[in-house]
Amino acid sequence: MKRLLRPLPAALVLLALVAIWELYVDLGGADRLVLPPPHDVAKALYDNRSLIWSNFLVTAEEVLLGTLVASVAALALAFAIHFSTTLRRAIYPLLIGSQAVPIPVFAFVLVLWLGFGLAPKVLVIALVSFFPIVVTTLAGLARVDPDLLKLMRTFDAPRLRTFRYVEFPSALPGVMTGAKITVAVAVIGAVFAELAGSNSGLGYLYQQSQNQFLMPRAYATVFVLSAFAILLFALLSLAERLALPWAYRPRGDQIA
């Protein structure tokens, strides 16, 4: 029972916020054209459900492909950096520096270069998602207890077996942390990539709605985008608990 009641406070706060929003607009605090009341947004979500759904599928495909590409590339690079000090010195500073580059700005260039299709979106999403996974994976690999590595040396373990049996599993929680950070960023990346040039997707639908002053529909697409990011995060958390139960530490407030 207590388990079921756990999300209750957050739900109440959310409900209160929506109520304040509704009241604020109803009492004339904002122009309905700019800020539609929540019930208008809900209505737009329902009325446009098939339109939103078909555009959602486009964005979802971009996000999933982009994060997949980012994950594979990030793991490969993190492992390579872990094994080679030279590579670490050569690439890691650039990698950190690259985070200062506002990648969405290049979305337009990438669209000109790669066309209106899936490719530039996947690339933008992969670029923004890549870094958190590299960093958290490297942090995970670095967190391995040095005494454990000594132990493996007294067991005559070759480098790769130490990696396979000790370092790689140790790094998995770090990889999952990176993936969880990434999903929210990836959805934002998808929106920017679509704004730069596309003819479908939720980012595109948002822009169209805004241009036509269909604000309830614009807000409805934002709602779906946020819900999607939250869903991905929740799915990853669930996967982490199922696949890496040993790494899952219940917090004090959850034990009760």
Partner 1 sequence: MIEAPEKEPRDVQPPHGVSVEAVSRTFVTRRGPVEALARMSLRVAPSEVVAVVGPSGCGKSTLLELICGLQAPDAGTVRAAPAALMPQRDLLLPWLGALDNACLALRARGVDRDDARRQAEPWLERFGLAGFERTRPAELSGGMRQRVSFLRTLLAGKPVLALDEPFAALDAITRLEMQGWLSHVLETEPRTVVLITHDVEEAIVLADRVVVMSPRPGRTVAEVEVDVPRPRHRTDARVVELRERALGALGVAE
- 177 forms part of the interface with partner 1 (CB under 8 A): no
- Residue from 166, 188, 214, 222 that binds partner 1 (CB under 8 A)? 166
- 221 forms part of the interface with partner 1 (CB under 8 A): no
- 247 forms part of the interface with partner 1 (CB under 8 A): yes
Q: SS3 of 117, please?
A: coil
Q: How far apart are the C-alpha atoms of 126 and 110, rounded to whole Å?
A: 13
3-12: string of b/e by CB count within 10 Å (b at 16+)? eeeeeeeeee
Q: Which C-beta is closer to partner 1: that of 46 or that of 165?
A: 165
Q: Which range in 23-31, 67-75, 97-105, 150-158 contacts partner 1 by CB under 8 A?
A: 150-158
Helices (H), 84-144: 85-98, 107-114, 118-142
Shortest approach of partner 1 to residue 200 CB, angstroms? Answer: 43
- Residue from 64, 157, 214, 222 that binds partner 1 (CB under 8 A)? 157
- 91 forms part of the interface with partner 1 (CB under 8 A): no
Contact characters 197-216, partner 1, x per CB under 8 A:
--------------------
- 154 forms part of the interface with partner 1 (CB under 8 A): yes
HEC string of 50-97 equals HHHHHHHHHHHHHHHHHHHHHHHHHHHHHHHHHHCHHHHHHHHHHHHH
Long-range contacts of 72-76 (CB under 8 A, 24+ apart): 73/126, 73/130, 74/129, 74/130, 74/131, 74/133, 74/134, 74/137, 74/178, 75/133, 75/137, 75/175
Decide: 52 and 204 in contact? Cβ < 8 Å.
no
- Residue from 9, 11, 50, 156 that binds partner 1 (CB under 8 A)? 156
Q: SS3 of 105, please?
A: helix
Q: Which C-beta is closer to partner 1: that of 68 or that of 157?
A: 157
Q: Which range in 30-38, 76-84, 146-154, 204-212 contacts partner 1 by CB under 8 A?
A: 146-154
- Residue from 53, 113, 165, 213 that binds partner 1 (CB under 8 A)? 165
Contacting residues toward partner 1, per CB under 8 A: 145, 147-148, 150-157, 161-162, 165-166, 169, 244, 246-247
